[in-house]
Amino acid sequence: MHEEKLIALIKNGETQAYSALVNRYQTGLIIHCDNIVKDRDLAEDIAQEAFVRAYQALKSYNETKGAFSTWLYQIATNLAKDQLRRSHKKIDLAEIDMIPQELPVLTQSEKREIRDTVHALQPPEYARVIEAYFWEGKRYQTIAAELSVPVSTVGTWIKRAKAQLRKELS
């Protein structure tokens, strides 16, 4: 049965027709979620929640704005991203125990050596992005706007500058 007919039936109260939509998209949706969260069990939970949310909001779905599959996948993507945001905020207590109680402290001469090495980076843009990102705490987007370069360029410069610093300071 065509997707449009299934959706029309569901909107008219034929809840049994929703299982046909679930069967049609379930495997692909789980794979899609797994590609985002990198955890098959979690991906299955997110896909199930996406189907529930889609069913609850089906009356607001508008066929003229896009395919049902696009709408469903967007719901799943949003749920997966929300899950990633939540999971990144949690701190594993076992990881905290692994942090050394006494972190090494840099001497003034070590700090000066690092600062001088950063300022000597070539090209000079490398020094600027290192200072902005690590010392001033600016985000890639902010640095890119200030330097009038693409965000990807800032990332590349930071990566190359770090490699230069490793080489110079080792």
Domain range 3-89, CATH class = mainly alpha
pLDDT digits (tens, 9 = 90+) for 123-167: 999 999 999 888 888 889 999 999 999 999 999 999 999 999 999
What's the confidence (pLDDT) of residue 59? 86
Total count of residues recorded for the chain: 170
Residue 108 and residue 116 in contact, taking contact as beta carbons nearer than 8 Å: no
Residues of the chain with CATH 1.10.10.10: 108-169
- Looking up tokens 């701190």, which residue turns up? 91
Give every CB contact of residue 90 below 8 A, 6+ residues apart in sequence.
Answer: none
108-169: CATH architecture: Orthogonal Bundle (1.10)
pLDDT digits (tens, 9 = 90+) for 8-63: 898 888 888 888 889 888 998 999 898 888 889 999 999 999 999 999 999 888 88
SS3 106: coil
Longest dimension (CA), the chain: 76
Residues of the chain with CATH 1.10.1740.10: 3-89
**b/e map 57-93, b = 16+ CB within 10 Å:** eeeeeeeeeeebeebbbebbbebbeebeeeeeeeeee
What's the confidence (pLDDT) of residue 91? 47
- How many angstroms separate the CA atoms of 77 and 69, rounded? 12
Q: What does pTM read for this prediction?
A: 0.52
What's the confidence (pLDDT) of residue 104? 56
pLDDT digits (tens, 9 = 90+) for 60-116: 888 888 888 889 999 999 999 999 888 765 545 454 445 444 545 668 888 888 889
Alpha helix stretches (DSSP H) within 90-150: 93-97, 108-119, 124-130, 140-147
